[in-house]
């Protein structure tokens, strides 16, 4: 989840612009109620985690607007007032297969601060907001990317066209011309996002009427349009492949600047091969919500007033509650209502891109109403559950290992041949399952042993206090078949073969295996991670169920460990053949 740092100084400035009096401290409770964990809150700032489904909370300005609604300071509109502008963006047909979605806006007379320090903080906050939208809505600029520019430095109308790789301009943070190829190979942003331009022969650029480069989306803006402390009028471009993502990004940037008293102007986007469009669209979206759906999900019937107040807290408006006379709404199957039933028409802001169907509206009503105010009810669905046979044996093993003072951990099933076999000296158990396209050299196969993962965890915690005793019960994969194993590993002074054997005897006793059925056999040198002469196989009725012993210091050093370590590795599949279940 993205983390946002909110400075009280900036929040207070936004409150002053909008005439809000409350202190930022009380936002703590609101953020908790809407599900955004507050990591810290002091006299200077709030650090919060914002869930990816609420990108409208990723800036000081948009979060302040949402807070006003929830805290009841001011009734918020579900629309954005957009003044009709006279600027045009011409889009060539060649963009269709390169970056087909183009949207723009102009925001004038933005109050960026009272002094240089406040203006610089605003610029940093705006850039942070932009990058967080790239990460969430834009999926790292793949679905959408945003360019924010100083309007005074460029001259409309604008045009969006494609150019070849030799095209040159001065990119942001540079002092000389660079070609498209050089930007993708040498510029930090070009290197980071060059994969988005893979296999393209031509590349998108936005130019003004003087043919000055405004942007090379989704990579980098032109140096000429850099936003500074003197900037008051902004040109915003959003390009990408997903219309919904692009529209939400454009509206949220506009909304943030509108919170600073900016005036939003529309632009006409003229395509050579299809109908023109006007952006941004600040109108709200109306949703049909069946009353029975609210009652079913929340477990109680809310009055029209309660629904109105609850959705108002979340920035929406209840337009009307009516009796259905036209039958089901085929466009939205979740909104189906039988003639004679009650439905609510609820208006939600277009920038709330997380509202995808009526159940999302019901969730907002629940948050606004307060989860603590909902009735406590037992589930109406009754299912009798029986434990799986495999789960019963796993439960007994876990209970035995916990009784030995071991702490359970869970590691990845993915591993690599170096850790599984080379470092531990274990041989492969039949066919190894390899990953076709591994993204890391650390994760190339599915593990056959669990002990290497435990040694890695001990290595990562080698600076922590001893003793450290851990175990894991999980899947291993041999010959392309899943099975369960468990392993333990203890780093402690004074631990050795004797301690390991004591653990084994305790586990065997807890599993109900008779001691006279157990035999210990030595392991050949260099065939296991155990120190020669201090490791053994456990044989029960001629079936090997596992190994244990004292880890060879040579093996430990390969993991960066110098502490005496003992451990064991057991196959639960083999244990099931020799240990009976007392509950059967």
Whole-structure pTM over 0.75, yes or no?
no
Contacts of 235 (CB under 8 A, 6+ apart): 104, 105, 106, 148, 149, 150, 151, 154, 158, 214, 225
- DSSP for 518-583, please give it: EEEEE--TTSSSEEEEEEEEEEETTEEEEEEEEEPHHHHHHTT--S-EEEEEEEHHHHHHH---TT
Give the C-alpha separation, 64 to 123, whole Å: 17
Least confident range from 60-74, 201-215, 402-416, 497-511: namely: 60-74
Architecture in CATH for domain 82-279? 3-Layer(bba) Sandwich (3.50)
Contact in structure between 513 and 540 (CB atoms under 8 Å): yes
φ and ψ of 10, to 5 deg: -70, -40
Give the C-alpha separation, 527 to 467, whole Å: 27
Task: Output the pLDDT for position 336.
Answer: 64
Q: What is the rounded end-to-end Cα distance, in angstroms, of the chain?
A: 46
Give the C-alpha separation, 154 to 156, whole Å: 7
For 320, the token pair is 């009307």
C-alpha angle 462-455-414 in degrees, rounded to nearest 5: 130
φ and ψ of 133, to 5 deg: -70, -35
Task: Output the pLDDT for position 107.
Answer: 97
Contact in structure between 354 and 360 (CB atoms under 8 Å): yes
Determine whether domain 3-71 maps to CATH 3.10.450.50: no
Can you name the CATH fold of 298-371? Phenylalanyl-tRNA Synthetase; Chain B, domain 1 (3.30.56)
pLDDT band at 82 (very low <50, low <70, confident <90, very high): very high
- Say whether pLDDT at 429 is over 90: no
Common-topology check for domains 3-71 and 298-371: yes
Give the C-alpha separation, 258 to 78, whole Å: 14
Phi-psi region of 268 (alpha: psi -120 to 50; beta: other; left: phi over 0): beta
Q: Mapping DSSP to helix (H, G, I), strand (E, B) and coil, where does residue 454 land?
A: helix
> Within a 13 Å sphere around the CA of 291, how many CA atoms are in the beta-carbon half?
20
- DSSP for 516-535, please give it: GGEEEEE--TTSSSEEEEEE
Least confident range from 30-44, 131-145, 363-377, 462-476: namely: 30-44
Q: Mapping DSSP to helix (H, G, I), strand (E, B) and coil, where does residue 297 land?
A: helix
For 356, the token pair is 């995808």
- pLDDT > 70 fraction of the chain, expressed in percent and rounded: 92
Contact in structure between 170 and 253 (CB atoms under 8 Å): no
Could you give the strand order of the β-sheet that contains 468-478, starting from the edge strand earlier in sequence? 407-408, 468-478, 481-491, 565-571, 543-551, 530-540, 518-522
Contacts of 292 (CB under 8 A, 6+ apart): 337, 341, 342
User: Which sequence spans correspond to the domains of the chain?
Assistant: 3-71, 82-279, 298-371, 389-578
The helix (H) or strand (E) run that includes residue 373 is none
Of 131, 137, 351, 104, the closest CA to residue 237 belongs to 104
pLDDT in tens, 385-414: 777 777 888 888 999 999 988 999 999 899
pLDDT in tens, 496-533: 888 889 999 999 998 888 888 889 998 888 888 998 88
For 63, the token pair is 């979060």
* Dihedral sign computed on CA atoms, order 218, 223, 225, 231: positive
DSSP letter assigned to residue 464: S
For 19, the token pair is 């005439």
pLDDT band at 197 (very low <50, low <70, confident <90, very high): very high
CATH class, range 389-578: alpha beta
Q: Mapping DSSP to helix (H, G, I), strand (E, B) and coil, where does residue 134 land?
A: helix
Give the C-alpha separation, 107 to 104, whole Å: 10
Task: Output the pLDDT for position 331.
Answer: 47
For 502, the token pair is 């004591």
């Amino acid at each position: 989840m993205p983390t946002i740092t909110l400075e009280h100084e900036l929040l207070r400035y936004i409150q002053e612009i909008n005439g809000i009096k409350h202190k930022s401290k009380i936002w703590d409770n609101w953020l908790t109620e809407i599900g955004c964990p507050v990591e810290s809150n002091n006299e200077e700032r709030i650090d919060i985690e914002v869930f990816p489904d609420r990108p409208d909370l990723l800036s000081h300005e948009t979060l302040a607007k949402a807070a006003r609604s929830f805290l009841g300071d001011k009734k918020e509109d579900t629309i954005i007032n957009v003044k009709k502008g006279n600027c045009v963006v011409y889009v060539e047909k060649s963009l269709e297969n390169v970056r087909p979605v183009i949207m723009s806006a102009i925001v004038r007379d933005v109050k960026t601060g009272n002094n240089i320090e406040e203006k610089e903080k605003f610029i940093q906050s705006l850039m942070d907001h932009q990058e967080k939208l790239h990460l969430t809505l834009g999926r790292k600029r793949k679905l959408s990317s945003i360019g924010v520019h100083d309007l005074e430095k460029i001259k409309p109308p604008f045009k969006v066209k494609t150019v070849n790789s030799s095209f040159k301009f001065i990119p942001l943070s540079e002092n000389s011309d660079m070609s498209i190829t050089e930007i993708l190979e040498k510029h930090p942003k070009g290197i980071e996002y060059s994969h988005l331009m893979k296999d393209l022969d031509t590349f998108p650029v936005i130019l003004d009427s003087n043919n000055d480069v405004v942007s090379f989306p989704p990579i980098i803006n032109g140096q000429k349009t850099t936003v500074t402390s003197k900037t008051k009028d902004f040109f915003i471009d959003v390009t990408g492949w997903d219309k919904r993502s692009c529209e939400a990004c454009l509206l949220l940037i506009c909304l943030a600047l509108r919170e600073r008293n900016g005036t939003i102007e529309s632009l006409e986007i003229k395509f050579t091969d299809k109908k023109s469009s006007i952006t941004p669209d600040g109108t709200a979206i109306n949703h049909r919500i069946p009353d029975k759906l609210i009652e079913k999900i929340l477990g109680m019937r809310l009055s029209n007033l309660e629904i109105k107040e609850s959705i108002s807290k979340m920035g929406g408006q209840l337009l009307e509650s009516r009796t259905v006379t036209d039958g089901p709404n085929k466009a939205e199957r979740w909104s189906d209502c039988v003639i004679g039933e009650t439905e609510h028409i609820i208006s939600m802001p277009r920038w709330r891109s997380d509202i995808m169907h009526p159940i999302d509206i019901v969730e907002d009503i629940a948050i606004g109403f307060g989860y603590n105010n909902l009735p406590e009810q037992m589930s109406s669905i009754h299912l009798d559950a029986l434990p799986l046979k495999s789960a019963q044996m796993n439960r007994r093993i876990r209970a035995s290992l916990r009784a030995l003072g071991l702490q359970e951990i869970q590691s990845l099933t993915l591993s690599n041949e170096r850790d599984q076999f080379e470092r531990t000296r274990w041989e492969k158990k039949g066919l190894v399952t390899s990953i076709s396209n591994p993204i890391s050299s650390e994760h190339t196969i599915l593990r056959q042993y669990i002990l290497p993962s435990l040694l890695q965890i001990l290595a990562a915690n080698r600076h922590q206090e001893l003793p450290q005793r851990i175990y894991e019960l999980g899947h291993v994969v041999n010959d392309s078949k899943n099975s369960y194993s468990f392993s333990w590993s203890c780093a402690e002074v004074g631990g050795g073969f004797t301690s390991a054997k004591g653990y084994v005897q305790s586990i065997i006793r807890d599993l109900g295996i008779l001691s006279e059925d157990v035999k210990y056999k030595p392991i050949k040198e260099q065939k296991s991670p155990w120190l020669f002469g201090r490791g053994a196989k456990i044989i029960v009725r001629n079936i090997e169920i596992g190994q244990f012993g004292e880890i060879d210091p040579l093996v430990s050093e390969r993991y960066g460990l110098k502490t005496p370590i003992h451990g064991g590795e057991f196959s639960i599949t083999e244990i099931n053949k020799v240990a009976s279940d007392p509950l059967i």
